[in-house]
Structure 1
Amino acid sequence: MSYSSDSSSYSDDDDDELADMMMIDFLIKNNRNFIDRTPCRTSMLSGKEYIREIMCGNLIQCYEAIRMKPHAFLNLCDKLKMMNLLEDRRDYVLRDLKAFSLTVVKTTNRGEVQPEIRADSRWYPFFKNCIGAIDGTHVAAWAPLSKQKSFRGRKAVLVTQNVMAICSHDMMFTFVYAGWEGTTNNSHWVSKSKGFFAPYRGERYHRSDWQSGSGVRGKKELFNFVHSSVRNVIERAFGVLKKRFHILKYIPNYPLRRQMLIPHACCALHNYIRMEYRADTLFNTYGGENFQELTEGFNVVQEGFPLDMTDQNEMLQVRD
């Protein structure tokens, strides 16, 4: 009788151990399937020693770490040193890149007509005076709970800051304004800009609007159809920017004044890479007008300007 009781007790303990082992096995498999355990940085070095290790290591790892080819990075360091902008203190890095951005994010003389427009019979001579494309986009932001409501974009689920930018048709940013709360109406500045060529409201505009196979109807739709193809260079430039600089998707807990500098710094590096290495992979990928993969994928959306054209009679006449 006592033996039977001991045997039963032993069986219960065995079942408990088996259940524990099954649970551990399940947790291990779940951990492997759903948690990315790829180390972001395996080196114990820091500062100049860490950079030197990257530059002398695998070329793919180097490109992923500094977002540019080694020669472009070295040239950038030399340029910053010549401008006396390279400081040892980490606090100065964003400030220095903002100063550097003033030297590369600017309008440049590309001739009387943008080469890309002159080369396309759909655009030339109709858009021969167009010097660039303008649009707004949302990038991720961090804000204290008391301010998050004003930094939440109208279409986004994340806390965002609003960025307005202009780029030329070679995907170089010529103007950047960042730091607006996500809910800010960004038309107040642009509506005062004489010479802004806006599409017709209430008419089909985006390329996807014609995917059903229906043709263009009327002069207003025709204008919008061509205007969309001229303007989408700014969308592709934003695509390159956000694909390269993941910090625009996930902003750390920085003070708001520092967060405003990050888009400026990224746009400056974007332009610098474009100048230093025209064959850059991302620029080649997004370079074609028909490139369609412009979705954000992290719920931080691009958002066009709701422009007021009532005071721009001259441009309205030109458009008609």
Structure 2
Amino acid sequence: MARLPLRQKMRLQVVVFILHIRIMKSMFNMLMFLAMTLVLRRRKFRRTLTYADQTASRHNIRSLNLQKMVFESDVQCVDNCIMDRRTLAKLCDLLRTHGNLKDSRNATIDEMVISFLHIVAHNIKNRVLKRQTARSGETISRQFHAVLNSILRLHNMLLRKPEPIPDNSTYERWKWFKGCLGALDGTFIKVNVETVDRPRYRTRKGEIATNVLGACTPDMQFIYVLPGWEGSAADGRIFRDAISRMNGLKVPLGNYYLCDAGYTNGNRYLAPYRGQRYHLNEWRQGYQPTTAKEYFNVKHSQARNCIERCFGILKARWAILRDKLFYPVKTQCRIISACCILHNFIRSEMHIDPIDIEVGQNECNNFQSEEDDEDLIRRCETSHAWTEWRDKLAHEMFTTWQTEQH
């Protein structure tokens, strides 16, 4: 076989070498393409898997949180929501049917109501609750206001209608006050206002608060609540505003409320005698009344004490009313009204009120409702006839008491 010339042999080797390089380059490009494809697919798979894991994790956190807060036992439910599970279920159903509260895209009515109750019961801040529930602060705030508006729509249902004390009442505290609807008084609740408004909201003790007028029944359920007045406003001024409003405090002719000495004694608002012993702690040393006015003040104080205890239970139940609120003033007043409405609902639905047990044992009576279509009192002025009626009632009470003593 003839040998190829040296030049042709070298040329053939160069061609073969070039072909090897091109083949290796093609194989390298193919391997790089496969590697990039695998990397991209792996990243996409990881991203989808991570998002699904996060969603499942948030759902598990919320489920476990609700389970621990409410559904484990009535004790846990009362500790976190101030009501047992049966009462909570009835509240959610009432808000759904009459309060126009609906499930949101991300939460059910039960979860929204539980979060609201947890906030007002323990004064929980949004930044704390969003970590517990794995939700954003904006979502919590939106759900809070939705439940708040729904509760306020129930005021006609849950605020008690006044029922006068019947003539045949045998309840020791109220049997002398025939036709009485309950008691009224004011209380201070701390609020947060702008610097320019603080002088108007500053109380005599230097606190920034709103003066809330409330009226309650003998079994300590609210009849009427008027929040929003400045802390520097006098009780009498707030009272005159309440009875002059179109939807304000209504007192039918023939009935009256018990009030303290800071209010005017007249026009169906029975106040105690001034300049006489009145407060209950003044009678705990065994001191016996010596005059009709003193004995009247004793009975008046015992009966009117229901509004004092009603406010005490209200503040003990809702921690958000004991501390300064960081909401606009209008929202703070709405929260106060909602807490009073929920107070009535709990006292009417729960057989045993745990907050009432902590504050002190309460004796409640049920009174039959009586419709009254007579004219309403819209002004409060002193009158000679009303003062004489009070003097006559005091003399009758004192004479009966002396007879029973002998």
TM-score under structure 2 normalisation? 0.57
- TM-superposed deviation, 1:106: 3.1
- TM-superposed deviation, 1:288: 4.0
Question: Is residue 148 of structure 1 aligned with residue 176 of structure 2?
Answer: no
Distance in 2 separating the partners of 1:217 and 1:101: 45
- Structure with larger Rg: 2
Query: 2:385 maps to which residue?
Result: 314
Query: 2:155 maps to which residue?
Result: 101
Aligned partner (choices 181, 189, 214) of residue 230 of structure 2: 181
Aligned partner (choices 62, 72, 91) of residue 77 of structure 2: 62
Distance in 1 separating the partners of 2:383 and 2:276: 19
- TM-superposed deviation, 1:251: 3.3
Aligned partner (choices 323, 332, 341) of residue 268 of structure 1: 341
Change (3 A) 1:203 1:69: same
**Aligned pairs (5 A) from 1:65-214:** 65-87=80-102, 88=104, 89-90=142-143, 91-109=145-163, 113=166, 118-121=169-172, 123-124=174-175, 126-155=176-205, 157-190=206-239, 194-214=267-287
Range with greater deviation from structure 2 (196-205 or 96-105): 96-105
Provide Cα deviations, 1:218-246, integer angstroms capped at 9, x if missing partner.
11111111100011011111111111100
Q: Secondary structure of 1:132's match?
A: strand
Higher helix share: 2
Q: Secondary structure of 2:272's match?
A: coil
Percent of paired sites with the same residue: 31
* Cα pair 1:94 1:258 within 8 Å, conserved: no
* Cα pair 1:114 1:130 within 8 Å, conserved: no
Using CA pairs below 8 Å that are at least 6 residues apart, which structure has the higher relative contact order? 1
* Cα pair 2:186 2:213 within 8 Å, conserved: yes
**Aligned pairs (5 A) from 1:254-293:** 254-286=327-359, 288=361
Change (3 A) 1:73 1:151: same
Provide Cα deviations, 1:158-196, integer angstroms capped at 9, x if missing partner.
311111111111111111111111111121253567311
Change (3 A) 1:114 1:95: farther
Provide Cα deviations, 1:102-146, integer angstroms capped at 9, x if missing partner.
32113154x76299xx2334642x212111011111111111222
The residue type paired with residue 96 of structure 2 is: K
Structure 2, gaps ≥5 residues long: 1-58, 105-141, 244-250, 252-266, 364-378, 392-406
- TM-superposed deviation, 1:53: 4.6
Count of paired positions: 255
Distance in 1 separating the partners of 2:238 and 2:289: 32
RMSD of aligned residue pairs (Cα, Å): 2.8
* Cα pair 2:99 2:151 within 8 Å, conserved: no
TM-score under structure 1 normalisation? 0.71
Question: Is residue 228 of structure 1 aligned with residue 277 of structure 2?
Answer: no
